[in-house]
Amino acid sequence: MLISETIRLFLDSIGRSEEYEYYLKKFRSDRSSCFAVLCPDEDACQRGGENLGVALQYLQRLDLVPAVLLTGPRAEEMRRALTHNGLAITTFRPKQGRPPAGFGAADSGGGADSNRAAKPGDEVELVVALGAAVQQARSQKKSLAIVWEQESLLDALQFLSRQLSSRVYLIRMAGALRGVDSEELLYYHYRNDSSRSGILPADEAVAELATAVGQSVEKLHLSVTAPYNLIKEIFTVKGAGTMVRAGSNIQRHRGPAGIAAIDRERLFALLGQSFQKQLVDESFLERASDIYLEENYQGAIILESRPMGSYLSKFAVDKQARGLGIAQELWELAIHEHSALFWRSRHNNSINRWYASLADGTHFAPPHWNIFWRGVALADIPRIIEFCTQRPEDFVSV
């Protein structure tokens, strides 16, 4: 499907074309029933309804069908707030009164049957009815509003993330989760003690809800964002919210014995995919002193020990895993254990701005190297620049 000039101009305003085109291709190739489950709170529907409506209209024009989950006693008012902003939606109202373990029969027209006992096939009947509602919304190019007035939010999210989509966005006017310093968090890793202890008390309930959903559904993408940031959160690597995930299992490999245990073929495949270039000589790995490697080879940092500090030889993240926070996890572990680091990057590298935010200093060495350092002695900077400038290319030039 081609992107209209109007939509392309809008997407260009929030991120780079290679980012949103990558995500569009990824979302359209997904076999899930819906593109995502969007879960706005009442405030997001009432005060942010116009922003949310605009975001949903853009998703519709991109042929991405979301399911908008509305729960609680004011769910119908939330639905009316969305339609008040001109949003075209198909409404699905499950019959109420049964917990997820025994979902009652459902239809698309509403009504509650809280006294009816569950019977075999109820959950299947609900899934079939929900699937029909999705198809109706898709054929009519509408969003699907699921008005589940009596259902608990956690139960509904767990059910829908298994049945409709493994992408969930919790939408609130406050936007991203915040740390105790009130700064927005890009990532919240619920297996990480520092993440859990570093959350703003007012955000603990949302973090606990996200954690409960994440722990019960495998390979779930879940983030917390604001209505006005939803499209940016969806279509850019950096996003505009907080991604909530368990956190990566990062393995440390040190010295010749530790590095010998690495699957070199998988590591070199990661480097080739990440840099989109072929290595000149794979023997550079013999100079490595430390390697930090995500257990599924989705990301790696390769360090070399030098008198001036640790040289960051390679920093790679699998393209499919970008935006998941793996790069940040790798980086935090590396700087925790290596106080003095330096590295180089081509001047046209798209992540140089991020590198600059991590570094104490930077130097441009013509014709094409940006050199970065942090935690190094001032007297060593000239030697660092000389080392990075004279070091041979690791990849075949294109």
**Which tokens belong to 242?**
């907080």
pLDDT range class, residue 114, cuts 50, 70, 90: very low
Please give the C-alpha separations between residue 160 and each of 148, 195, 340, in angstroms, as whole numbers.
11, 27, 47
Residue appearing with tokens 């029909």: 132
Top-confidence residue, 121 or 153: 153
pLDDT tens digits, 25-71: 788 777 788 889 999 999 998 898 888 888 888 888 888 889 999 98
Phi/psi of residue 29, each to 5°?
Answer: -90, -10
Q: What is the pLDDT of residue 72?
A: 85
Position 97 pLDDT exceeds 70: no
What does the pLDDT average to over 213-240? 88
CATH match for 5-245 among 1.10.10.10, 3.40.50.300, 2.60.40.10, 3.40.1160.10: 3.40.1160.10
Residue 229 to residue 154: CA distance in whole angstroms: 23
Integer angstrom CA distances of residue 138 from 37, 60, 158: 14, 9, 23
pLDDT confidence tier of residue 384, bands split at 50, 70 and 90: very high
Q: What is the pTM of this model?
A: 0.74
**pLDDT-derived band of residue 305, with 50, 70 and 90 as boundaries?**
very high
Q: Is the pLDDT of residue 98 over 50?
A: no
Amino acid (1-letter code) at residue 248: S
Higher pLDDT, 365 or 195: 365
Share of the chain above pLDDT 90, in %: 30
Q: Give residue limits of the domains in the chain.
A: 5-245, 250-390
Asked whether residue 332 carries a pLDDT value surpassing 80, the answer given is yes
State both tokens at 331: 């980086």
Classify domain 250-390 at the CATH class level: alpha beta
Q: Determine the Cα–Cα distance for residues 394 and 281; give it in Å rounded to an integer.
A: 7
With cut-offs at 50, 70 and 90, classify the pLDDT of residue 103.
very low
Q: For residues 59 and 330, what is the distance between their CA atoms, to the nearest angstrom?
A: 33
Q: What is the model's pLDDT at position 111? A: 36
Distances (CA, A) of 220 to 11, 245, 328: 25, 8, 19
Token representation of residue 179: 């740390």
Is the per-residue pLDDT at 177 higher than 50? yes
Q: What is the pLDDT at residue 63?
A: 82
- pLDDT at residue 113, as a whole number: 39
Please give the pLDDT value at position 340.
95
Q: Is 198 left (phi over 0), alpha (psi -120 to 50) or beta?
A: alpha
Per-residue confidence band for 359, with pLDDT thresholds at 50, 70 and 90: very high
Which residue shows structure tokens 């373990």? 101
Looking at residue 174, its pLDDT comes to 93
- Rounded mean pLDDT of 75-92? 83
300 neighbors 291 (Cβ within 8 angstroms): yes
